[in-house]
Amino acid sequence: MSTAALPLHVEVSGAEPGPGVDTFLLIHGYGACTFTWRYWAPRLAERGHVVAADLKGFGRAPKPEDGLYAPADQAALVCRLIQERDLRNLTLVGHSLGGGVSLLTGLRLLDEGGERLRRLVIVSGAAYEQRMPPFVRLADYPTLSSAAFKALGAPLIVRAVLEQIVYDRSAVSADQVRGYAEPLGSAAAVSALLETARQIQPPDLDATTARYPDLDVPALLLWGRDDRVVPLAIGERLARELPRARLHVLERCGHLPAEERPEESWGLLERFLDRGVG
- Looking at residue 3, its pLDDT comes to 46
The DSSP secondary structure of 141-193, one letter per residue, reads SHHHHHHHHHHH-HHHHHHHHHHHHSS-GGG--HHHHHHHHGGG-SHHHHHHH
Residues β-bridged to residue 224: 250
CA nearest to 156, candidates 172, 171, 140: 172
d(CA 23, CA 264): 22
Q: What are the boundaries of each domain within the chain?
A: 9-131+201-275
Class of domain 9-131+201-275 as given by CATH? alpha beta
**SS3 category, 94:** strand
d(CA 166, CA 33): 17
The pTM for the full model equals 0.95
- Looking at residue 39, its pLDDT comes to 98
**pLDDT string in tens for the chain (278-residue length):** 544 589 999 999 999 998 899 999 999 999 999 999 999 999 999 999 999 999 999 999 999 999 999 999 999 999 999 999 999 999 999 999 999 999 999 999 999 998 999 999 999 999 999 988 887 777 777 777 788 888 888 999 999 999 999 999 999 999 999 999 999 999 999 999 999 999 999 888 999 999 999 999 999 999 999 999 999 999 999 999 999 999 999 999 999 999 999 999 999 999 999 986 65
